[in-house]
Amino acid sequence: MISQSVAAIYDPLYIPPKICHREKELQELHKILSDNENSNLLIYGPSGIGKTVLSRYAVATLNESKSEFTPVFVNFCYKRFREIMYQINSSICDAAHLGLIPTGATLPELWNIFRRLRRSINNKLVIILDDVDENNQQIHRKFLQESKELGITTIATAKVGYARKIRREYGTSLQIDFTLFLDLYSKTELMDITHQRVTIAFPSFIRPSIIRFLTDIVLEFDIGRPSTIIEILKRIYPISLRGADILPIHIQEASSDIFTVHDELSIIDSLAQISLITHLLLQKIARMFQKYLYEPYMSLNEIKKEYDLLYEELKVQTDPGELDESLNDLLRTGLLYQSHFEPDMFYIVVPPQKILEILDLAFDGTFE
């Protein structure tokens, strides 16, 4: 059996011990599910925002406390109607300790079996129809049409586009009793989710600055989805399992597998857009990150010190406005990034060694 720590990272159906920052939505779901009436719910929002885990958590926690209903979960993604019905019937049989469903049953036979199974269950039946989209809209519509007669509650999860589409269909929209929109998390909420998964899953301590760094990168390159956080955690988990410290370079390398970050050519193109002084400042910044390999951030004061040192080495007087110009150029070209949490803290998404190697080649005139 898979351990809870591994499941927290690798199991797409994992339910955490607590849902972070969805208290209002969870309370609303519990209220609807506790009602004796059968309802059709639609939970929608951006991809990877936590629709599935919220619906499963709501059903699981309410069922633990009251044991009033039989929960069934089926993911609709890339499945035909027959496969979906077989899975639903099998889940009901497992919950009710009934015999197996014949694998060769046709779709009409499977639907009739479903109707008979429903009559054999005395308590409430709640079916989570996960990841419904345009490809299986007819199946969703079938459940909406039959739900009241069969006495079932459905919770469908969908992306925003599908929700808009069916809400424009008068007949279908009338059959949906409740809708619940899941908005994006704030930056602090997303970091709390990152911290929760890291605490549950990782065998060794990960410094808060690394957790913040990971969250910063996801906020910069994505819309701040928990699913993207988990994708990065999957890539660095084996490092922690070996007992090694998680360093900024591990986050940078894992992120480069997911996001379109700078490759050599794009770095070269960015370097062509900045001044020689900015080149030299970037070199000093990269060397500092290379020297302090445990630190994911560099403060504005530290950058100022490196800037002053650069001018001392060049034996020229500093220009008060040039540092701001250089920083703006580095931020504009994506060679440096500003933290979403602390504006005076900066980070790089390309490993410092790679930046230094490209800078050395550029200074040698290789790209002239």
Residue 14 domain flag: no
Annotate 98-147 with DSSP letters as a single string: -PPPPTT--HHHHHHHHHHHHHH--SEEEEEEEEE-GGGHHHHHHHHHHH
Report how far residue 26's alpha carbon sits from residue 28's, in angstroms, rounded to the nearest whole number.
5
Residue 368 domain flag: no
Of 181, 199, 232, the one marking the end of a domain is 181
Whether residues 29 and 176 share a domain: the answer is yes
Helix (H) or strand (E) holding 60: helix 51-66
Strands 337-338 and 124-132: unpaired
User: What CATH number is associated with residue 357?
Assistant: 1.10.10.10
Of 258, 280, 305, the one marking the end of a domain is 258
Whether residues 30 and 177 share a domain: the answer is yes
Does the pTM exceed 0.75?
yes
Q: Which residue range(s) make up the domain with 153? A: 22-181
Residue 241 domain flag: yes
Residue 143 domain flag: yes
CA nearest neighbour of 359 among 298, 274, 296: 274
Residue 333 domain flag: yes
Whether residues 251 and 268 share a domain: the answer is no
Longest Cα–Cα distance in the chain = 88
Residue 9 domain flag: no
Whether residues 151 and 228 share a domain: the answer is no
Annotate 282-316 with DSSP letters as a single string: HHHHHHHHHHSTT---EEHHHHHHHHHHHHHHHTS
Residue 4 domain flag: no
Write out the chain's pLDDT in tens, 368 residues: 567 789 999 999 999 999 999 999 999 999 999 887 899 999 999 999 999 999 999 999 887 766 678 999 999 998 999 999 999 999 999 988 887 777 788 999 999 999 999 998 888 899 999 999 999 999 999 999 999 999 999 999 999 999 999 989 988 899 999 999 999 999 999 999 999 999 999 998 999 999 999 999 999 999 889 999 999 999 999 999 999 999 999 999 999 888 876 667 778 788 888 899 999 999 999 999 999 999 999 999 999 999 999 999 988 777 778 999 999 999 999 999 999 999 999 999 999 999 999 988 876 654 44
